[in-house]
Structure 1
Amino acid sequence: MTTVVPPLSTILASLGHAAFTWDVGSDQMVWSDHVASVFPDIPLNVLGRGAAFANLIEPVRSIRTDALAHSPLALGGEGTPYRIEYAVRTSTSAPPQWIEETGSWFAGADGKPARVQGIVRVNNERHARDEQLVKLSQNDPLTGELNRTHLIASLAETLEEAARFRTSCAFMLIGIDHLARINDAFGFDVADAVISEVGRRVRARLRGGDVLGRFSGNKFGLVLKNCTIDETNIAAERFLAAIRDEVVPTKSGPVSVTASIGAVIVPRHARSAEEAINRAQETLDTSKRRRAGSFSLWRPNVERDAQRRVNIRVTDEIVTALNERRIVTAFEPVVDTRLRRASFYECLVRMEQDDGRVLLAPDIVPVAERLGLIRLVDHRVLELVVAELVASPGVRLSLNISPATTMDPDWWASIESLMRAHPGVAERLIVEITETVAIQDVDDVRGFVARLKNFGSRIAIDDFGAGYTSFRNLRKLGVDIVKIDGAFVQNLAHSADDRAFVQTLIDLARRLEIKTVAEWVQDEQSASILRDWGCDYIQGRLIGLASSERPWSPAMAEAVPAAG
């Protein structure tokens, strides 16, 4: 049996290939048979000329001649190989056909390309895969919009163009309100459906040329080109209404959604992409704090900028003071109401400054909390208090800790290490937590209290009465001492309302077998009233305010009575 081998052109055509030779000087191209099966919509007379064929090529018509010019000449008369990819479009309505061309060119007497021979093949599938990979690298998989990286790149490009052509643009951040609640109530798949629908609604209301991307989990970023302040306000209201006015249908049922928007005009109020993002985020946070579903536009604010400069300076001062051991403590006595002897001392933070002045706790703690430095301050105060307890074996001390510290694992590691290193210290330590902390999460705080009491330490609730903690929660926490907020004590002798309130607190605390401390006691009359009501301890101006001096000696410390 004789095997019939089909012509080479037939084999090439079956593979979607076609071969050619191209005489560069005459620009004549000769193709293998069946070339029409590769280029069915291109007339043969167009295929016969290199220049005519180049007119159909995208994105760069000269890609074939450029490839010849830029590939190095092969020595020894051998052909110089090249490989290029391009698209061929036969009409504006037809999709492009992607081609891979591989061949070699041969030089003439002048060393320049004189003849080319090669093969072209249709490569639409590979190009589609490449495009898909590019799309996946640039777009958010959930919404199909730009991802954060390419959104920021587009913002940076827009800023450059706006600065060059002196146009006004806007950058917006749209944040879906309370998305965590949707996650909890319906599940993450429903929340994803909400995110996708919000993106679709915003996309439907964009102008041509505007850019939309997913900035983070619940936020979309928008670059609005050639957009004035008035147009930004109008656009924001249009986006908010589109999200708010219709419920989002999901597989779990309709979900009502609102969003908040923060925006900044660029480059007028932001010269870089980073600055634009920070200011849009700032105004978005302002919108959410003011009212969910609202819009804020960033504007210069002299007071805000001045406060930020102060924050930077104070941050540096606090960190420097910590490093230079200029964070110290002062000691305020807490005395037995009847004996008028110190039962323990409250340790209050102080910061010594270079000029000799000393900043008090109200000057330090709120700023440190706002700037995220309070945990460092609390760690330092813990070290100082334990050192005092070690140095004075009979003294009892209390220290205040901030809300964040109650759940700080590093603070727990520090106190456990110190307590193990210094047996007997824990029993003389009282840790004060504010009432506002105690009522935020009773179960978490109860765990905090239990861990400290296992060391042998005591727990006091500070500023009691300011947050109106229920006595049910107070009993559940298992605290040892309640410190009555001084705001109710300082005018005790002159305010019938304060007297009724404080007396009730003392009476209830006694029933729960919890010791009481009255803060801010100003006069003897108030002290006498508190003693008669059964208040256990008092502190304040009448007794003596905090001092850096240690009002005890080893001999006196041995005689100090227990705090309970």
Structure 2
Amino acid sequence: MWGLAMAINADRRRTEGTRAGAAHVARLARYPDTALFWFRIGNYPHLVAAYGQELASEAVATAHDHIARLVQDNGTMETCRADVLEVRIKRGTRLGDTMTPASGAAWAATVCEAIPLLAFASKAGPIHVWVSACWSIFTPESDSGESDSGEDASSPGDVSEWMFPFVGALPEYGEEAERYRADMAIVSHALTALKSMRDGTAGSGGLRPFWQKVRCADSGVTRYFEALARLSDSKGLPERPGTYILSMERLGFVRLLDLFMVRQVIAELERSEDIQIAVNLSALSLSDDPWWDDIRSTLRRNGHIARRLLLEITETASFPKVSDAVRFVDTMRRLGCGIVLDDFGTGYASVRQLLAFAPDIIKIDSLFLRRATASERGRAIFVSLAQLAKSISATVVAEGVETSQHRNIALEAGVNWQQGYLWGQPCGCRPRPYVADGLPQPPETSRGWQCAPEPSLRFVQ
């Protein structure tokens, strides 16, 4: 139910954004030589439903105060309606004199990423707001280059679509509102840890990657590492994984976590030139917006990093729009990244949609391996899933391999690549380098990275 509500809400937001952008055009002539930004609190109706009008309004006012601190003396602000703030950046100011369509989009992205990390302390507990934005860089002269997404930069006076749309589900009053408040407390813990990592104040705690190996059950070869987002205490020990990621998906904040983890993995790939790492992306994160511009630029400049980066798509939430997700995947694949599909057999995607993603690697959800140990029917289902996965992708991984029985069942089904506690628990230490003849290079095709069936990489024990 929540997944369907999130998809409906995302579609409604896109429609509202188009109407809002058209309405803003009339304001442009009133402020010549000015960059105009509109920031909307995307989860404002959700906060009203869960906390009431008074607390929701206080949270919005706090967010507006934080935006004012970012604007400083570079412009003026005006509240257009309860959830929309207009910011006017004028020429002749430090920020305005350097404003172009590209830099304006980057500044809006910075604001939209920073504000949700800040907690508003209310009598009902911490509250976080989501900020979407649209803008018009109304200047006499503008850069005319292309953006990192490959599309033409906005012309002076154009109003962008609403970027960073909110995709959280709108709670009903009663039990769903109570659940929303409980989720918000969990999300606040994670966002506070994420902010402390960004600010460099986390010490040994915070939110950080833990690394787990995907290995070949026959040869002991390590194919790659998966980066798992884990909250850790002041001693650096991981807390129990829990359900905070599901809470972040339900409330629409998981994209912040995914961006943070992708940047962490890219930094690790820059330090270690002989490893390959997969990083999880929620289905809600597969949208082509300016948040990804810096990541795409890095990957475009550093093909040796892109070829070792695997984007692992999780399906614990439904895709707001499958066509947008496919477009995002195609863009990242052209840069050289590999595509991994997680949760196979339990996710929201149909087989038709899986074919559209054309994943390089498919991971069978651990549920089916557990059931395979319980009954012959469960084993037959696992074998059938493995065969279907192999018909879609060249490489199949069995998740949840914790015992020798799990290992053998997967091997009998022809699944040599395995991941689970039998092959090593997630570790907070940096992934150790391979000793290898060389990493498999992507083929010279438009499709980009493909997984070699038996890479010559061995993990140093």
Indicate the residue corresponding to 1:412 in structure 2. Answer: 292
Structure 2 match to 1:382: 262
Residue 548 of structure 1 is matched in structure 2 by 428
2:380 alignment partner, SS class: helix
Partner of 2:324: 444
SS at match of 1:542: helix
Structure 2 regions of 5+ residues with no counterpart?
1-7, 20-47, 59-81, 84-123, 125-169, 442-450, 453-461
TM superposition shift of 1:466: 0.6
Q: Deviations over 1:139-165 (max 9, x none)?
A: xxxxxxxxxxxxxxxxxxxxxxxxxxx
* 1:85 corresponding residue in structure 2: none
- With a CA cutoff of 8 Å and minimum separation of 6, indicate the structure with the bigger relative contact order: 2
Is contact 1:390-1:422 (8 Å) kept? no
The 2-side partners of 1:482 and 1:400 are apart by: 13
Contact 1:393 1:557 in 2 (8 A): no
Q: Structure 1 residues 429, 362: closer, same or farther in 2, change over 3 A?
A: farther
* CA spacing shift, 1:429–1:270, aligned 2, 3 Å: closer
Distance 1:454 1:308 in 2: 37
For residue 213 of structure 2, what is the amino acid of its counterpart?
Answer: P
Q: How far apart, CA to CA, are the structure 2 residues paired with 1:404 and 1:390?
A: 27
Deviation at 1:272, TM superposition (A): 9.3
Give 1:489's match in structure 2, choosing from 369, 376, 383: 369
Does residue 431 (structure 1) correspond to residue 311 (structure 2)? The answer is: yes
CA contact (8 A) 1:343 1:561 kept: no
Return the alpha-carbon distance in structure 2 between the equivalents of residues 417 and 289 of structure 1.
37
CA drift of 1:309 comes to: 5.6
Partners of 1:272 and 1:449 in 2: CA distance: 39
2:382 aligns with 502
- In structure 1, list runs of 5 or more residues that go unmatched: 1-176, 189-261, 280-287, 291-295
Structure with higher Rg: it is 1
Paired residue secondary structure (1:494) = coil
Distance 1:348 1:545 in 2: 11
- After the TM superposition, which segments of 4 or more aligned residues of structure 1 sit over 6 Å from their partners? 269-273, 301-307
Distance 1:273 1:487 in 2: 40
Separation (CA, whole Å) in 2 of partners of 1:263 and 1:413: 34
CA shift, 1:462, in A, is: 0.6
Distance 1:272 1:500 in 2: 53
User: Scaled by the length of structure 1, what TM-score is found?
Assistant: 0.44
Residues paired across the two proteins, number:
289
Q: How does 1:331-370 map to 2 (within 5 A)?
A: 331-354=211-234, 356-359=236-239, 361-362=241-242, 364-370=244-250
Distance 1:557 1:367, change over 3 A: farther
Specify the code of the residue in structure 2 equivalent to 1:384: Q
Matched, 1:395 2:395: no
Within 5 A, what are the aligned runs for 1:222-301? Answer: none
SS of the equivalent of 1:489 reads helix
Structure-2 separation of matches of 1:541 and 1:316 = 29
Check 1:376–1:557 CA distance in 2 against 1; reply closer, same or farther (3 A cut).
Answer: farther
Computed over aligned residues only, the root mean square deviation of the Cα atoms, in angstroms, reads 4.0
User: What does residue 199 of structure 2 align with?
Assistant: 323
Cα distance, 1:548–1:542 mapped onto 2, change above 3 Å: same
Equivalent residue letter for 1:501: I
1:428-455 deviation digits (Å, cap 9, x = unpaired): 1110112355765332222122111101
TM-score for the superposition, normalised by structure 2: 0.53
Q: Which range is displaced more, 458-467 or 485-494? A: 485-494
CA distance 1:522–1:510, change in 2 (3 Å): same
Cα deviation for residue 483 of structure 1 reads 0.7
Q: 1:380 to 1:512 in 2, by over 3 A?
A: closer
Q: Deviations over 1:286-333 (max 9, x none)?
A: xx866xxxxx6x79x988767656655554344234322643211110
CA distance in 2, matches of 1:320, 1:504: 45
How far residue 539 of structure 1 moved from its aligned partner, in angstroms, is 0.3
- Quick one: structure 1 residues 469 and 316, their matched pair in 2 at CA, closer, same or farther if it must change by over 3 Å? closer
Change (3 A) 1:469 1:381: closer
Per the TM alignment, residue 420 of structure 1 is displaced from its structure 2 partner at its CA by 2.7
SS at match of 1:407: coil
Classify 1:270/1:440 alpha carbon distance in 2 versus 1 (closer, same or farther; 3 Å): closer
AA of the residue aligned to 1:398: A
Cα pair 1:446 1:478 within 8 Å, conserved: no
